[in-house]
């Protein structure tokens, strides 16, 4: 066991009651640093009551003091015999009743933006069944017209690190099967951190041979500038004017 019980609620408590960095809290609770930042901003775990790790004998107060004094210090979890084997969960995750109504929106988001994920992967991420996922894929769900896709991380149904891990697994599987992906698909199949670090897409240079000729043909002639008085009175004569002079 390398993370506390009720990790999300513990992170909420640490954000509200300590000056630990997001990285320290994320490492202690087994979460992604951006997810902890979302808790601090109020975008993640809204309405979750903080769970005091000190009162529940999971963390010594001296660990918090050390962590607040040194941003690089990693908090050490106290051994809890009741937590042994807690991570050996199999099958779909348990979803609280208050969040079950959000699952269709999360499923639709995953199906739309990460079509490479299998039904099994989606089921483990948001705690749902394959028939429900299939009905949303085929748009036969009874309420499909009212469902709006929402990021499951924002809904608190899964962690960003879990979503990234599932996506990376899908990437490796596609590579092993020899599936050719487009550039847009490759951008969808990277983690949040990798996507933020990617270089911008190259643009076609404008000085390639032939482009200047094409541009010259397309360019329209600009009208003469008669803004000054002298050029206005020195207009070129027409043929009728020349005949009158003769």
Residue-by-residue DSSP string for 50-96: P--TTTTTSS-HHHHHHHHH-TTPPP-PPP-GGGTTTT---SSPP--
Q: Does one domain contain both 102 and 74? A: no
Overall number of domains in the chain: 2
Residue 230 lies in a domain: no
| 44, 7 contact by CB (below 8 A) | no
Residue 228 lies in a domain: no
Q: List the structure tokens of 244.
A: 């009158």
Residue 102 lies in a domain: yes
Q: Does one domain contain both 14 and 56? A: yes
Q: Does one domain contain both 132 and 186? A: yes
- What is the extent of the structural domain holding 47? 7-83
Give the whole-angstrom CA distance, residue 228 versus residue 242: 25
Residue 160 lies in a domain: yes
Phi-psi region of 155 (alpha: psi -120 to 50; beta: other; left: phi over 0): alpha
Contacts of 99 (CB under 8 A, 6+ apart): 155, 156, 157
Q: Does one domain contain both 73 and 102? A: no
Q: Please report the pLDDT score of residue 235 as a whole number.
A: 54
Q: Does one domain contain both 53 and 125? A: no
Give the whole-angstrom CA distance, residue 57 versus residue 107: 37
Residue 72 lies in a domain: yes
Q: Does one domain contain both 25 and 103? A: no
Residue 158 lies in a domain: yes
Burial class, 149, CB count within 10 angstroms (exposed 0-12 / middle 13-18 / buried 19+):
middle
Q: Does one domain contain both 56 and 30? A: yes
> Over the chain, what is the mean pLDDT?
75
Give the whole-angstrom CA distance, residue 151 versus residue 40: 18
Q: How far from chain centre, in Å, is Cα 87? A: 26
Q: Please report the pLDDT score of residue 121 as a whole number.
A: 92
The DSSP secondary-structure symbol of 210 reads T
Q: Does one domain contain both 42 and 106? A: no
Domain boundary among 196, 211, 235: 196
Q: Does one domain contain both 115 and 192? A: yes
Q: Please report the pLDDT score of residue 215 as a whole number.
A: 43
Domain boundary among 33, 56, 83: 83
Report if pTM > 0.75. Answer: no
Q: Does one domain contain both 131 and 157? A: yes
Q: List the structure tokens of 238.
A: 């027409």
Contacts of 19 (CB under 8 A, 6+ apart): 68
Residue 166 lies in a domain: yes
Low-confidence ranges of the chain (pLDDT < 50): 1, 86-91, 188, 190-196, 198, 200-201, 211-219, 232, 246
User: Please, which contacts does 133-137 make with residues 24 or more away whose CB atoms are closer than 8 Å?
Assistant: 133/107, 136/104, 136/107, 136/108, 136/111, 137/111
Neighbours of 114 (CB within 10 A): 17
Q: Does one domain contain both 108 and 20? A: no
Residue 220 lies in a domain: no
Q: Does one domain contain both 192 and 107? A: yes
Q: Please report the pLDDT score of residue 69 as a whole number.
A: 93
């Amino acid at each position: 066991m390398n993370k506390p019980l009720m990790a999300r609620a513990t992170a909420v408590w640490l954000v509200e009651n300590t000056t630990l960095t997001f990285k320290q809290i994320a490492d202690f609770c087994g979460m992604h640093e951006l997810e902890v930042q979302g808790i601090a901003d109020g975008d993640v775990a809204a309405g979750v009551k903080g769970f005091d790790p000190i009162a529940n004998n999971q963390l010594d107060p001296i660990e918090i003091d050390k962590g607040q004094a040194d941003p690089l210090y990693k908090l050490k979890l106290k051994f809890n015999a009741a937590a042994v084997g807690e991570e050996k969960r199999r099958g779909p995750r348990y979803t609280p009743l208050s969040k079950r109504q959000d699952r269709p929106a999360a499923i639709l988001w995953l199906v739309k933006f990460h079509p490479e994920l299998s039904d099994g992967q989606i089921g483990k991420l948001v705690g749902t069944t394959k028939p429900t996922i299939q009905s949303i894929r085929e748009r036969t769900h009874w309420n499909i017209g009212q469902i709006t896709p929402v990021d499951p991380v924002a809904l608190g149904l899964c962690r960003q690190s879990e979503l990234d891990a599932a996506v990376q697994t899908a990437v490796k599987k596609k590579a092993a099967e020899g599936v050719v992906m487009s550039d847009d698909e490759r951008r969808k199949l990277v983690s949040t951190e990798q996507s933020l670090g990617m270089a911008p897409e190259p643009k076609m240079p404008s000085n390639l041979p032939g482009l200047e000729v094409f541009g010259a043909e397309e360019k329209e002639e600009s009208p003469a500038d008669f803004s000054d008085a002298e050029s206005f009175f020195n207009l070129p004569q027409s043929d009728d004017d020349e005949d009158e002079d003769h």
